Chains A and B, each alone.
Chain A
Amino acid sequence: MSEIYYSQTPQWKEFLAELKQSFRVYLPQVKDDDYLYQEYKDSEQFSFNSYRTTQPIKSFLVYPKEKVAEDFFSPATLEKPVPTVVVGLKNCDLHSLKVQDFVFKQGIEVDPLYNLRRENTIFISGDCTGFKEVCFCLALEVLPHPTEGFDLNLSLLTDGFLVEVGSQKGKNLIEKYQRYFIQAKQSQISARSAKRQSLIDELNRHLGKQNLPPKEILQKIIKKGYNSGIWEDFCLDCVECGACNFICCTCHCFLLSDIQEKDQSPRLRVWDSCQYANFARVAGGANPLKRRAQRLRNRFEKKFDFFIDNLGMPACEGCGRCIEACPAKIDIREVLKDLAKNA
């Protein structure tokens, strides 16, 4: 049985203000129709974000550009990161962490920076209470409320929040700051279920019109569509900016780059994009992803073929960030629909 608490809005805000004393806290801030993460310093206000933020959650764990080794010749000890709390993740974000964990924490080697930051970060997620036009999580069988993978999860009630404990880290936090929390009532938990179901119904109505292919045929249509002309059609307006990859919460590719500074030769890691012309080019000039269409296809193969084979799930949670970020308006939903149509 899961542990669920209740915190009234003023208490919750006091709790966050107190967290700020021991942690670096990030809160979503409203900007037009979007939520953007900002560090909670003084003036930042907590407002419950109805749907996911603009920034992908990976940016808290792997920075867009950072030193991964201080010097080529003399190893330096890795700095322990500042304990951090990130508030406002949605279920799509939590799902993406499964992909990022698979890449950086598992396999033949563990990425030390990622691992340290992951250990030192507490993720406080929340139920969605609304969605953007581009949201299509349910089509990928990702619910608009978290069920696992969080430390604490918030569900919005009329004058406060249900706070569900999802990990030992979350449990410790509640115990340490127990004055802000009381045991949730059964009626409150029932209210949560009703709210959740009503949002699922609403999102289903939104998606019903779109006719997206079901999750279980995605790998098949990608494989079948390998030689399809769809890739050529959709890549026509691509400007190779890489925004789809950078904004994606599962895309993880990076490039190591050694540079020369005054007395040191540090090694940098920068996010990379498979939409860039040189992504797969080798010394000598051969390039298996020479054409834009091949690179667009690579993005879809990686998400819906490679990760299904290797992790048992697609590397897409239907957050729709790539749809909003693309200046050419290449819509991942439209690509999948066309592939399904022609399969």
Chain B
Amino acid sequence: MHNIYQPLPAIVEEIIEETPTIKTLVLRPKQDFSFQTGQFIELGLAGIGEAPFTPSSDPNIKDHIEVSIMNVGRLTQQLHSLRKNSSVGPNDTLYPKLLSQWSKRIDVVTTVDAAEKGYKGNVGLVTTILKDFPINVKQAVCVVCGPPIMMKFTTMKLIDLGFSPANIYLSMEKNMSCGLGKCGHCRIGKYYVCKDGPVFIYEKLKDIPDIWD
């Protein structure tokens, strides 16, 4: 029988330094592997452990997966010390290449919490750019990700703007061990983030207390 706890090996093909604390690892799995938008993977190192990460690459690209990782804990510190290949230097926003590609076809509005003098983009919390956002809420959906506190205030702002809770998609994060709906760590109300999420519409979560903790 298939052992669900057996990892699949992968090679680190490239390392992109996005910011001083975030690196994107370009991984080539040694076996066929695919994911769908909204799914996450458990990524680990032999003898160290694993943790859930959401791929940051296009799910239609089958031969490699990109995962952007912030250096915040025991495992991510080890992942950050993997061999360095390409370094594109520190940047103010994540994924500058991707963002400039997108900008050719769609309106991309960015903001940063704080910036040094001379920064040309928007400075302020996400909620500030949402304030007078020219958008028809009836024809729009929102995808919200980030630290819980940022998601909380962004969601509240979106509700104020008239978005339906069914049109707000949230990428939730909880401590997870197995990622398979067995280990019991990632419960939110009657859901497990690993198997029922990690992306939830706000409609499903809005009556559960303390979801942003």
Residues on A lying within 8 angstroms of B by beta carbon are 68-69, 72-73, 75, 78, 103-104, 107-112, 115-116, 226-227, 252-260, 265, 267, 269, 272, 274, 279-284, 286, 288, 298, 301-302, 305-306, 309-310
Contacts and interface: CB of A to CB of B under 8 A. Distances in A.
Nearest to B70: A284
A226 B211 CA distance: 13
Contact of A109 (B4, B51, B173): B4
A159 B180 CA distance: 49
Contacts of B9: 72-73
Given A112-B1, A283-B75, 17 more contacts: A69-B7, A72-B44, A73-B9, A75-B3, A103-B184, A108-B195, A109-B182, A226-B209, A253-B185, A254-B182, A254-B184, A256-B5, A258-B49, A258-B50, A269-B5, A279-B175, A288-B210
Interface in B158-183: 173-175, 177-178, 180-183
Given A288-B174, A310-B190, A258 B46 contact: yes
B2 interface: yes
A255 B182 CA distance: 10
Binding site of B, secondary structure by majority: helix, strand, loop or mixed?
A: loop
Given A68-B3, A69-B5, A111 B73 contact: no
B190 A259 contact: no
Interface of B: 1-7, 9, 44-51, 70, 72-76, 148, 173-175, 177-178, 180-185, 187, 189-190, 195, 209-210, 213
Contact of B1 (A104, A116, A272, A306): A116
B177 to A, nearest CB: 5
Closest 5 interchain pairs by CB?
A283-B73, A260-B47, A253-B184, A265-B46, A72-B46
Contacts of A267: 5-7
B4 A111 contact: yes
Nearest to B3: A112
Contact of B184 (A78, A257, A274): A274
Contacts of B6: 69, 75, 267
A309 B190 contact: yes
B19 to A, nearest CB: 15
Most chain A Cβ neighbours within 10 Å, of B51, B76, B177: B177
Contacts of A274: 184
B186 to A, nearest CB: 8
A34 B47 CA distance: 40
A78 B1 contact: yes
Contacts of B183: 253-256, 272
Contacts of A112: 1-4
B178 A256 contact: yes
A311 to B, nearest CB: 10
